[in-house]
Amino acid sequence: MATHAERLTSGEDRDNRSKSVTSPITTDQSDHWKTSAILLQEVTATSRHYVDRLFDPDPQKVLQGVIDMKNAVIGNNKQKANLIVLGAVPRLLYLLQQSSSSLELRTECAVVLGSLAMGTENNIKSLVDCHIIPALLQGLLYPDLVFIEACLRCLRTVFISPVTPVQLLYTDPTVIPHLMSLLSRSQRTQEYITQIFSHCCKTPEHQTVLFNHGAIQNIAPLLTSPSYKVRMQALKCFSVLAYENTQVSMTLVNVLVDGELLSQVFVRMMQRDQTIEMQLTAAKCLTYMCRAGSIRTDDSCVVLKTLPCLVRMCSKEHLLEERVEGAETLAYLMEPDVELQRIASTTDHLVAMLADYFKYPSSVSAITDIKRLDHDLKHAHELRQAAFKLYASLGSNDEDIRKKITETENMMDRIVSGLSESSIKVRLAAVRCLHSLSRSVQQLRTSFHDHAVWKPLMKLLQNAPDEVLVMASSTLCNLLLEFSPSKEPILESGVIELLCSLTQSDSPALRVNGIWALMNMAFQADQKVKVEIVRCLGTEQLFRLLSDPDANVLMKTLGLLRNLLSTRPHIDQIMSSHGKQIMQAVTLILEAEHSTEVKEQTLCILANIADGNTAKDLIMTNDDTLQKIKYYMGHSNVKLQLAATFCISNLIWNEEDGSQERQDKLREMGFVDILHKLTQASDANLSDSQGRSEFFSF
């Protein structure tokens, strides 16, 4: 959501643009444009002169031309752009690669290219398009250290740009091992190479390449370098290498640096006398190692060092980006661990501290730097995103923490506002927070109902990327539980059609959530709702979901079918319309290779069908189904035996019409013998056989 200041600025810009189009051109404006055109011609002419000198036949004049060009482009983006447009880059690369060029000329070319790379993103694109990366990597094969450092400095500048394809570092398999070998040459090579690695390690494949070429052994000693820049870049390397990587993390935990465990080196780097950047990055390293399983969550370096350090980063005395990184890293650290969540929630009033994230920058902000204020206004949404993420992590398990969060000033209003923010990342974080809180029965009955959160949630479901849809539909599943006051208004809003459309998604997660929500909706629902679900979903789609390759989709579909087939009038009505297809689907599932859970759920559906007044005839007239029930009554798995026995119990109940005929048929098929065996079973539930009296009567 744009801030008030941003809206004013954009409004002023629009006004100025409209005036420039509609106002008549004055003499002063005309003169100004003429002057600008002349100046541009002069700049272009000067730039052309620099480029022309690169082609002089005298090598000494070429060298002086490159040196003059270097001095001209420092801090001058316009000059850099002009030189690139006029073709300076291909010539500089040619001179850099020519064997006839002097070492000094090559080095100066690398320096100028590095300066050009420090301009705009368009400059970087132009340099990459001219194949600067292969040329500079080739330059690293020369023995001269000053030239190597100049090439590495330029490569570093190019690779840290977001527009550079990092895969270019991995194209030639000889590059990474050569870079590793250059680490020992100087502090500058160490700084540049580790910075390149930390920016170019984006995927598990990249982590594996660096790991296999000895990144850990080569970079670990750099953590004790006398150079802060080297230590910092080495630390950043370990953070990207360890992220969600068990192999790297398990290796790191045993690494010694000057006789000290690496984890303890990271702990020292989190001390308050270190820079905030170093404290944060060291905390990230330990967080990633903990999440990967190489450090226990109850280890003192996590509980007493890493967690407090990250909570400290959330305080308002830190810069916006530090608060964002601290909150997001803390959320990731404690996401799966309820004890860490409890500890964090009581550390430094964290829950209340996060409320400040929504008030930043305030009208009484201590920020006096106008550039910093402008930056923070543009990035304030990142604070809100980080706060929502951390609240979501804090409240994912503990009821008391959830209560504390919802009682924080205006919290539910802030979540509702977050669901409609312009930033997709804020919307996703807000719905994650809502999902976390929706696990609370108490909050579903109170805060969620009082603030009608289902309305913005439904709006969010209408048009959103899959990532948001998955989280929003997960939250909706909880809002549709039978004890949720939101269930009725959601039903009245026409949600069934939306959920049925989710079951047709290519995303398994969306299919699961769509069918899960329908399953919750069908639980103890009236006949009208069930009929509408079946009508909207369609029998073809229902049976398609029963053969879905995703086990979770299949389980939830069986759960939906089980809820639809509950209470006798509903069972009989649905089976009278769709009995043949349902029996066929049930048979196929019982015959196929499925988990015990799937088969147990399927047998429970049969037990529900057997409880119908007329529906039970579909089982009794199908000998194949009866044989399958008989088979599962004798199965080695107690849960399957129990579920199959439920079916028989419902079929032979004495007080129902036709019970004698059904008992006679089942006796002829040998069910009595199985029931007698079950009475001898060691499992108490089986030996009771659902009330022996009813079985012994036939």
Beta bridge partners of 257: 260
The per-residue pLDDT for 673 is 83
Quick check: 625 and 583 in contact, CB under 8 A?
Answer: yes
Percent of the residues in the chain that have a pLDDT greater than 90, as a whole number: 77
- Quick one: three-class SS letters along 223-278? HHCCCHHHHHHHHHHHHHHHCCCHHHHHHHCCCEECCEEHHHHHHHHCCCCCCHHH
Average pLDDT value over all residues in the chain: 89
CATH class of 41-164: mainly alpha
Q: How many whole angstroms separate alpha carbon 84 and alpha carbon 132?
A: 13
Cβ-defined contacts of 678-687 (< 8 Å, 24+): 678/633, 678/641, 678/645, 681/638, 681/641, 683/638, 683/642, 685/638, 685/642, 686/638, 686/641, 686/642, 686/645
The per-residue pLDDT for 134 is 97
Mean pLDDT of 579-583: 91
* pLDDT of residue 676 exceeding 90: no
* pLDDT of residue 46 exceeding 80: no
pLDDT confidence of 365, banded at 50, 70, 90?
A: low
Residue pLDDT, tens place only, 489-519: 999 888 999 999 999 999 999 999 999 999 9
Q: Give the start-to-end residue ranges of the domains of the chain.
A: 41-164, 565-697
* pLDDT of residue 656 exceeding 80: no
pLDDT confidence of 653, banded at 50, 70, 90?
A: confident
The per-residue pLDDT for 377 is 84
The per-residue pLDDT for 242 is 98
The per-residue pLDDT for 6 is 31
pLDDT confidence of 33, banded at 50, 70, 90?
A: very low
- The angle subtended at Cα 170 by Cα 169 and Cα 172, nearest 5°, is 100
pLDDT confidence of 421, banded at 50, 70, 90?
A: very high
Fold matches, 41-164 and 565-697: yes
The per-residue pLDDT for 171 is 95
354 by Cβ neighbours in 10 Å (0-12 / 13-18 / 19+) ranks as: buried
* pLDDT of residue 686 exceeding 80: no
Mean pLDDT of 264-278: 97
The per-residue pLDDT for 688 is 60
* pLDDT of residue 692 exceeding 90: no
The per-residue pLDDT for 205 is 98
Mean pLDDT of 149-171: 97
The per-residue pLDDT for 16 is 31
Q: How many whole angstroms separate alpha carbon 295 and alpha carbon 437?
A: 29
Give me the DSSP letters along 352-378.
Answer: HHHHGGGG-S-TT-----HHHHHHHHH
Rounded to the nearest 10 degrees, the angle between the axes of helix 132-139 and helix 88-97 is 20
Q: How many whole angstroms separate alpha carbon 331 and alpha carbon 316?
A: 18
Fold of the 565-697 domain: Leucine-rich Repeat Variant (1.25.10)
Mean pLDDT of 386-414: 95
Q: Can you say whether residue 92 is alpha, beta or left, with left for phi > 0 and alpha for psi between -120 and 50 degrees?
A: alpha
The per-residue pLDDT for 696 is 42
- pTM for the model stands at 0.84
Mean pLDDT of 551-573: 94
The per-residue pLDDT for 684 is 63
Looking at residue 495, its amino acid is V
Measured CA to CA in angstroms, residue 300 lies from 235, 283, 292, 414 at distances of 21, 13, 17, 35
Q: How many whole angstroms separate alpha carbon 101 and alpha carbon 31?
A: 47
* pLDDT of residue 453 exceeding 70: yes
* pLDDT of residue 24 exceeding 70: no
Q: Which of 367, 373, 445 is nearest to 406 (CA)?
A: 445
The alpha-helical segments, DSSP class H, found in 407-545 are 411-418, 424-437, 441-445, 447-450, 454-462, 466-479, 487-492, 495-502, 508-522, 527-537, 539-545
Q: Give me the residue label for tokens 């959920």.
A: 499
The per-residue pLDDT for 18 is 31
Mean pLDDT of 323-344: 97
pLDDT confidence of 674, banded at 50, 70, 90?
A: confident
Mean pLDDT of 424-430: 96
Residue 309 phi, psi dihedral angles, 5° rounding: -60, -45
Measured CA to CA in angstroms, residue 590 lies from 414, 519, 539, 547, 597 at distances of 49, 21, 20, 12, 11
The per-residue pLDDT for 395 is 96
Mean pLDDT of 338-364: 88
Higher per-residue pLDDT: 679 or 307:
307
pLDDT confidence of 44, banded at 50, 70, 90?
A: low
The per-residue pLDDT for 152 is 98
Residue pLDDT, tens place only, 621-651: 999 999 999 999 989 999 999 999 999 989 8
